[in-house]
Structure 1
Amino acid sequence: MAQELKAKGNELFKQGDYIGAEEYFSQAILKDPRDPTFFTNRAISRIKLEKWAEVEQDARAALAIYGTKNPASLKSSYYLATALLGLQRPQEAHDVAVEAYELSLREKNAQTENLMRTGKETARLRESNETLKSVELLIEADLARSIAELQAQLDRGEIGQIGFNEDQSALRADAEKKIRTLREAFEISSKGEIKERVVPDHLVDGITFEVMYDPVITPSGTSFDRVGIVKYVEKAGVDPITRVPMTVKDLRPNYALKAACAEFLEKNGWAVDW
């Protein structure tokens, strides 16, 4: 019965009826709460509905059944990282994505590319959130100083209580306006409407033309992002530069370049979408 409910949910999901699919997967879970695929299927339905808190619950439930070291759990880890991003918890999302990415590489799992992109997105959001927080604290500190100066004027009798109240309200309104404007600017930037496009050439992958996330080096000495070059070598069987025969086993991690890319993305979150 539970598998029949899952099948009905899958059919509705294919039709784009995510609410109906969610309901069937919920019924399947009630019938058999030990099957992790019911939770992952409901999680993807809820991702479509942007129910991030519920997606987190489902992903964690599936991971509890699978175990985080189980390759079958990688889809659940990806859904969990996606939910945490939706909940504006980029540091947690980053930790989940990085751990799962390492497992996916070892297992040559299909989720590797999704997890790589999620890792890049968390880097951008972490940098953006920290910068926004720092600027908001500066605005709040400036407000506190202005109110303290106003209080001193009241204490010295230079202004009356009514004037103090009016000026304090004006100061708070001005600070709130600055913070709103700041958040709107960061929101616009996060959607890619404001971007710089200056990225050092040595950080850019020659296959995808994106900033590299996990660079590896070929026998000819050229570095590429792991996901792209692995796909190329598995298909072509040659070094893309020299055309000399090679295999995936010939690739070696470029740790220095990986550190440089990570540092650049940490300081320039906009570059994830470059």
Structure 2
Amino acid sequence: MSESDSEDEMEEEEQWTAVLPRNKCSPKSAPALRTKENKSNCQLPHRISEEEPEWDVSSAFVANAANHIKLKGGKNRAMQISRENKENEARGSQVDTTEEMRRRGQTLTVQGIEMFEQGQYSQAVDRFTEAIHCDPKDHRFYGNRSYCYWCLEQYSSALADAQKSIQLAPNWPKGYFRKGSALMGLKRYSEAEKAMEQVLKLDQDCKEASSKLLTSRVLQLMELGFEERQSKVLLEKFTTVQAVIAASEAQVVKHTSLQDQSGKCRSLWVGNITFEVTEKDLVDLFKTFGEIESIKVLYERYCAFINFKNA
């Protein structure tokens, strides 16, 4: 080997050696080293940070992942639609069931009315009870069953159903009528009077309520010691029980007694007579006992005598 060849080889080795430390890349990541002719074109690969990975959208992995996401999203959407459909079906089914139950309740009511008209009150109660189970918000079912209980003289049950019907329909007159009838059966006449008054407020033409109202007032006076005929006469004049009790005439009537005497004439002694009580008042109060022949009022003695022709 000549001296010039050795120098050329040493120079070339130095050039190769100078390339290695300049790249500072590991053998795995560094590109192939360039020769001295193109060493100026050697570039380090761009470093990608771990926080911002760069994906190859054309790679099979990315395609599979995207497809998986689409499938998952489609599946979720399908599940949501399915759930909504089921909810809609459930609501529709519930509406159908409710309507079917109402129709069955109406059918049972018709059967109950037929049994009631035949006097089969217990069987009618059973039918109305089934109707209530079908539609517990129909106030008429409770009113009908209350009437059946009243006919069976089960007044507490009749009252409970009447109050339930009023709760469901506060402006339904018949509910208060059923309540008043049940209260009269329980001999709670004062409360029955108020119930019948409420009926007439809602339906002033209800003749049954007017009759029951008078009966409840008469029974209250009879509990106070008045006779039935006396009570009716006093109520015709004073209308209410409270007004009768406050009237002095009422006290006169309450303390009267019929006395049988020999002969064709019957005489009635009336006590507690004051100047407020006129002869006409006595005629109006006692004409129901018979045809009055004469009246003798003794104000100084606070009494009067009423003579009847034929009592």
TM-score with structure 1 setting the length? 0.47
RCO higher in structure (CA 8 A, sep ≥6): 1
Larger radius of gyration: 2
Greater fraction of residues in helix? 1
TM-score with structure 2 setting the length? 0.42
Greater fraction of residues in strand? 2
